[in-house]
Structure 1
Amino acid sequence: MFGFGRSKDAVGLDIGASSVKAVQLKRGRGVHELVRLGIVPLHPETIVDGVIMDSGTVISAIQQIFAENQIKTKDVVVAVSGHSVIVKKIRVTKMKPEELEEAIPFEAEQYVPYAIEDVNLDFQILENADPNAGELDVLLVAVKKDIVNDYLSIISTAGLNAVVVDVDAFALENAFELAYETERDQVVGLVNLGAAVMNINILQGGFSEFTRDSPLGGTRYTESIQKM
């Protein structure tokens, strides 16, 4: 979950503020080939601040995309973003992975502004420059359960199966890493400008150093231009 696992044959499903999009790729010899692509626009108030306000419209849009583009695969990968998603780089005492898994809920209480029982947690141990250090750098991810459950419910009602729930910033990172190779110490800034949210992910040496979801999406720029 949250981008640390990947599925080989799933369809990428993007439930955005202005449209629902689906893409299916086929892996070839060192390349990925586009097999299917579908887009269905949504009314402006269908999704607000990452919260799905009109689930029926979203379900219909998903079903329309799969039917019109003859997408047979039922497994999908979906991503979430917004204020309900918390991504934080933290430092903890060095311990075994199984011990860290038990400790993460207690560590997360310092950084997550929601009750721990109300969020889904995931983490990834980052590379440490000093192998003898007594601490670990960990990327902590927390997403409110009600947001995840809303997406899972809609996908299930549409007749599909969500095999991975990712974070938009990490999905952007995965796409970049499939297409480009970087040097160990190279710093790369990734920006995804959506209709309502701009996702930012700063990478160094292949690891995420900073992520941020900004409400400055394309719609706001369009509205500003219209007022000029």
Structure 2
Amino acid sequence: MLSSLWKKKVSLIVGIDIGSHSVKAVLLNQGNDGYILEALLEETMPRGAVIDREIQDIEAVGNVIAKIRKKITSSVTHAAAVSGQTVITKIIYMDVNLSEQELASQIEIEADSLIPYPLDEVSLDFESLDVNESDPSKINVLLSAARTESVEARVSALESGGFQTKVIDVESYAISRPYDLILSQLPDDAENKIVAMVDIGSVMTLFSVTEAGQHIYSRDQIFGGEQYTRSIVSYYNKTFEEAEFAKVSNDLPPNYTFEVLAPFHTVLVQQIRRAIQMFLTSSGKDKVDYLVISGGTASVEGVENLLTEELGIHTVIANPFKEMKKSDNIDMDKLESIAPKFMVAAGLALRSFSSWHI
């Protein structure tokens, strides 16, 4: 059961985001005046070690994590990661009078009809949320299920890299958890509005929505910055690695704006517009009030203004560390530009200060 990893209160946890291009790690501490950014690290992942958020080579991933382990203070050995691509979350309704043990037994019975996999292939966990408004005799319960092989691969990779796994989280909740950290970047009324958080990775985009700070919706879609990289490869006859470097360093010909950037901008707007429309249709909401963009692709030139103008939604690029104190080893010159790609890792690191999974 994932509960053995999720429910135990722990000390400081390193949030480790295992991606297809790199592993990103964040370590947070807490002082009297708020959070302190203690460490922010990224190590390149060998190509093919992680595909579509699933680990293909545990040893290779473990070796990358070990590089991070050597740079993190030795007193912190606990780590958190997300569970991978195949995760199912559902809100179910249970009798409000059930004890925790009775709830666990009943949920396993319910899960058999809700989860489209044999129960012996999945890891389950649940959390009691609040009393159902429509029926006070029921309580809303969040059920989470992940493929056990995916969970075990991450546990093995973290342990191979020198960490003890204390949390395996759901990515959409990890993205939503730093919500309070980015509120200062949004207008004053955002606290009670509908905010869509869009994390654009190399091959996958996670669209997660909060309303008044509560997570209400999430959806994955296959789209990411690798599309932009492959356009650079195609137009300028570069290797994939050369194209990645050129993209990050802006070392591109003057005409790249028309040849690769504008077409990518067009597709990016289409993808986010489609995600918003699917959310509005399924939720019955009228609009999204604000957009928060994170992930490596957030640093692509012009994204913030593009989405604000094309979608008519006030958009900001996420910096979860903006209001934090920073330790002396943080490179302040680089932090602003790289902060958006650490959104998931920051959400995982925040698990140091919460005993439940949301």
TM-score (norm 1): 0.85
Please state whether the residue corresponding to 2:42 is helix, strand or coil. Answer: strand
One-letter code of the match for 1:55? I
Task: Give the structure 2 partner of residue 195 of structure 1.
Answer: 202
Unaligned runs of 5+ in 2: 235-259, 261-358
CA positional deviation for 1:120: 0.9
Question: Of 25, 38, 63, which residue of structure 1 is paired with 2:41?
Answer: 38
Alignment match of 1:139 (pick from 134, 137, 142):
142
Q: Does residue 230 of structure 2 align to residue 223 of structure 1?
A: yes
1:87 pairs with one of 89, 96, 100: 89
Q: 1:4 to 1:192 in 2, by over 3 A?
A: farther
Distance 1:172 1:6 in 2: 20
Q: Aligned-pair RMSD on alpha carbons?
A: 2.7
Query: Following the alignment from structure 2 to structure 1, what is the Cα–Cα distance between the partners of residues 213 and 97?
Result: 23
2:170 to 151, 167, 170: 167
1:43, distance to aligned residue in structure 2 (A) = 2.8
The alpha-carbon deviation at position 97 of structure 1 amounts to 3.9
Describe the shift of the 1:75–1:165 C-alpha distance in structure 2 as closer, same or farther (beyond 3 A).
same
* Structure having greater relative contact order (Cα 8 Å, sep ≥ 6): 2
- Distance, in Å, in 1 between the alignment partners of 2:131 and 2:230 is 45
Give the length in aligned residue pairs.
226
Of 62, 65, 72, the match for 2:65: 62
Query: What is the one-letter code of the residue matched to 1:88?
Result: K
Compared with structure 1, are the counterparts of its residues 186 and 3 closer, same or farther at alpha carbon in structure 2 (3 Å cutoff)?
farther
201, 212, 216: which one pairs with 1:209? 216
Distance 1:3 1:226, change over 3 A: farther
Q: 1:179 to 1:138 in 2, by over 3 A?
A: same
Question: SS of the residue aligned with 1:126?
Answer: strand
Instruction: Write the deviation string for residues 163-186 of structure 1: whole angstroms up to 9, x where unpaired.
Output: 111111111122223554988854
Question: Is the 1:185–1:205 contact (alpha carbons within 8 Å) kept by the matching residues of 2?
Answer: yes
- Residue identity in the other structure for 2:93: R
Shift of the 222–19 alpha-carbon distance from structure 1 to 2, 3 Å rule, reads same
Deviation per residue, 1:200-225 (Å, 9 max, x gap): 22223433221222222222344357
Quick one: which of 112, 115, 131 aligns to 1:112? 115
Instruction: State the one-letter code of the partner of 1:161.
Output: Q
TM norm structure 2: 0.57
Cα distance change, pair 129–103 in 1 and its aligned pair in 2 (3 A): closer
Corresponding residue SS for 1:26: strand
Alpha-carbon distance in 2 for matches of 1:187, 1:31 = 25
CA contact (8 A) 1:81 1:213 kept: no
**Which stretch of structure 1 is more off in the superposition, 131-140 or 150-159?**
131-140
Q: Which shows bigger deviation, 105-114 or 142-151?
A: 105-114
Higher helix proportion (structure 1 or 2): 2
The 3 A distance-change label for structure 1 pair 124 and 87 is same
Secondary structure of the equivalent of 1:200? strand
Contact 1:6/1:164 (8 A) holds in 2: no
2:73 to 52, 71, 74: 71
Percentage of identical aligned residues: 27
Summarize deviations over 1:138-189 as a string: whole Å, max 9, x none. Answer: 2211001011111111211222101111111111122223554988854322
> Which structure has the larger Rg over C-alpha atoms?
2
Q: Provide closer, same or farther for how the CA distance between residues 192 and 183 of structure 1 changes in structure 2, counting only shifts above 3 A.
A: closer
Secondary structure of the residue aligned to 2:177 is helix
Q: Distance in 2 between matches of 1:7 and 1:178?
A: 21
